[in-house]
A and B are shown apart, each in its own frame.
Chain A
Amino acid sequence: MLDVLPGNAAEVMLGESATPESVAALSAKLGLDRPAPVRYADWMKGLATGELGTSIAYDTPIAQLVAERLVVTVPLALMAMALTTLLAFSLGLYAASRHGRGGDIGVMAASQIGIAIPNFWFAILLILAFAVKLRWFSAGGFPGWSEADGGGVGAGLRALVLPAVALAVVQAAILARIVRSAVLDVLREDFVRTARAKGATPRGVLWGHVLRNAMVPVLTVMGLQFANLLTGTVVIENVFSLPGLGRLVFQAIANRDLLVVRDVVMLLAAAVVLINFVVDMLYVVIDPRLRVRAA
């Protein structure tokens, strides 16, 4: 796609003041003098084998840079997703059980506000409350996972708490509404009435029948949300100065390190596609009827 756009990657990386000689030298170094299909094939081969080329700004293999940053971004995204799921299911099930009553209206109103809040602003508010006023957490930075570097697992997880909460609360507001409406839809089904009539306990009905049947729409949204969380980390890592993929791509833009930007963006996009593919696969695990229909 970069080839379709006007200009040359070497010109972009060197800036407007670059001489034609330096542009030509960098073009040759990056292999831009070769035909686009050949470069595309090489790049795809590199993606498959993990050899992504070398960062101009860091003079380090991009794969190594990405691997170093993933140890922050992946735990952050997973923590945020776990928190999102926990919050959304608790609130969504509570609202569904209080349908039409105060608790339901309260959860729905809170989720409407939650959806409207930008996650980076919520992150700043969390810093203001828990770092500036209460001083329970640091306002940013990441000590690392290794105790030898002055960090450790506990310290690392602690540094990710506020960023994960900032990412999760907004996503949970959306997911709680989906959980509520999916559960309400299933509760109206005849098989739920039958299960109750056969003497199943409320807990048994909820776990054995309602949740399982409500999971297909919920999973679809969760797949889309994981994509939002991944792109959300780009912003949140910058709010908290966390050395993850988001910070890397941001620094790469500042350094005009186009290859790093390209590869990180493609990696995130590939993760989005992969997650949605996994969600599609999970449908048939959760709802075997879909397997029969597909066959």
Chain B
Amino acid sequence: MKGAGSRVRWRRANFVIGATLVTLLVGLALLSFVWTPYSPTDLDIPHKLQPPTPAHWLGTDSLGRDIVSLLIVGSRVSIAVGLIAVGIGIAFGVGIGLLAAVKRGWVEEAVMRFADFTFAFPALLSAIMLTAIYGPGLVTSIVAIGIFNVPVFARITRASALVVRSREFVLAARALGKSEWQITIEHVLPNIAALLIVQATIQFAIAILAEAALSYLGLGTQPPTPSWGRMLNEAQAQLFQAPQLAIYPGVAIALTVLGLNLMGDGLRDILDPRLMRRR
């Protein structure tokens, strides 16, 4: 029992660390709307590639822009991409998944084959394809990452909705004369919400990584909008003169993803303690 107790404390600590990191990220993004040490778009060539100083806490980049300001404003892009891409995934994926679980038959088969097809195109491949047609940009990358999220949520929703629909309380609701869609909205959806929330934190982290990769390749966020991926792209050209520039944005991405993953793990344990016992 002692082991189980320490495991619960360990899991709670993970959740607290994750939630703290995510809160910090959201706080930074909100702060950027009212305050940054310097404007992230102001160029100051005479003071380029400065090491950390009291005036510029993390120094300046190759165009003299303040690194702290770029990092703070860059968090906005990460949050926006995560929110919208996961929003697209939930909006379409949950709807399609529920439809498959309720209708069964050929509708379910069609949904699952669609999910299989979309799974063959990871976010990066979809983004490359869309970029080739529409040109690079933040919207294109958000749409591509969002499209990749749709089958993820569709599969999870269908599988968990099928389990919930086989429970007694659904049978009771049906006996009371409720329609299939009433049962789905009033009973199935609330019972699978916890699972979807946990998956949303995981997909949020994946979206941030995908956007960073796309921006690093020059296919995502375009200048002058600051983004962590772009900062890494620009830093690579200065690797010999200012290696520290390649450290900060990567740490920001890693801490954000770590925070989301820890929070997702913690949420899963809080919302479904049976899973923790199995680990």
Contacts and interface: CB of A to CB of B under 8 A. Distances in A.
Contact of B216 (A127, A228, A235): A235
A135 to B, nearest CB: 12
A252 interface: yes
Contacts of A139: 239
A273 to B, nearest CB: 5
A48 interface: no
What class of interface size applies to chain B in its complex with A? 35 or more
A71 interface: no
B3 to A, nearest CB: 6
Interface string A236-276: 00110000000001101100101001100100111011000
A118 B209 contact: yes
Contacts, number: 107
B132 A253 contact: yes
Contact of A272 (B120, B254, B262): B120
Contacts of A281: none
Interface stretch (B25-33, B84-92, B122-130, B167-175): B122-130
Contact of B254 (A113, A250, A252, A273): A113
Contacts of B121: 265, 269
Interface of B: 3, 119-122, 124-125, 128-129, 131-133, 136, 205, 209, 212-213, 216-217, 219, 232, 235-236, 239-240, 243, 246-247, 249-250, 253-255, 257-258, 261-262, 278-279
A236 to B, nearest CB: 10
A191 B125 CA distance: 44
Chain A's interface size range is 35 or more
A249 B262 contact: no
A239 B213 CA distance: 11
Contact of A250 (B125, B217, B258, B278): B217
Interface string A8-35: 0000100000000000000000000000
A227 interface: yes
Say whether chain B's binding surface is mostly helix, strand, loop, or mixed: helix
A112 B13 CA distance: 14
Given A181-B279, A231-B124, A235-B124, A118 B132 contact: no
Q: Which of A100, A262, A269 has the most CB of B within 10 A?
A: A269
Given A128-B243, A235-B217, A120 B232 contact: yes
Contact of A120 (B122, B213, B247, B262): B213
Contacts of A252: 132
Contacts of B250: 117-118, 121, 124-125
Given A2-B133, A113-B258, A116-B253, 20 more contacts: A12-B133, A112-B258, A115-B257, A116-B257, A117-B257, A118-B250, A120-B212, A120-B232, A121-B232, A121-B246, A121-B253, A121-B254, A124-B246, A128-B246, A227-B122, A234-B217, A235-B213, A262-B132, A269-B120, A269-B121
A184 B205 CA distance: 27
A278 interface: no
A228 to B, nearest CB: 7
Most buried by B among A113, A238, A253, A265: A253
Contacts of B133: 2, 5, 7, 12, 258
B81 to A, nearest CB: 14
A190 to B, nearest CB: 17
Interface of A: 2, 5, 7, 12, 100, 112-113, 115-118, 120-121, 124-125, 127-128, 132, 139, 181, 184-185, 227-228, 231, 234-235, 238-239, 249-250, 252-253, 256, 258, 261-262, 265, 268-270, 272-273
Contact of A132 (B120, B205, B243): B243
A118 B249 CA distance: 11
Nearest to B219: A253
Interface centre among B136, B217, B278 (most CB of A within 10 A): B217
A185 B255 CA distance: 30
A262 B121 CA distance: 12
Contacts of A268: 125
A234 B128 contact: yes
A261 B258 CA distance: 33
A272 B219 CA distance: 22
B253 A118 contact: yes
Nearest to A113: B258
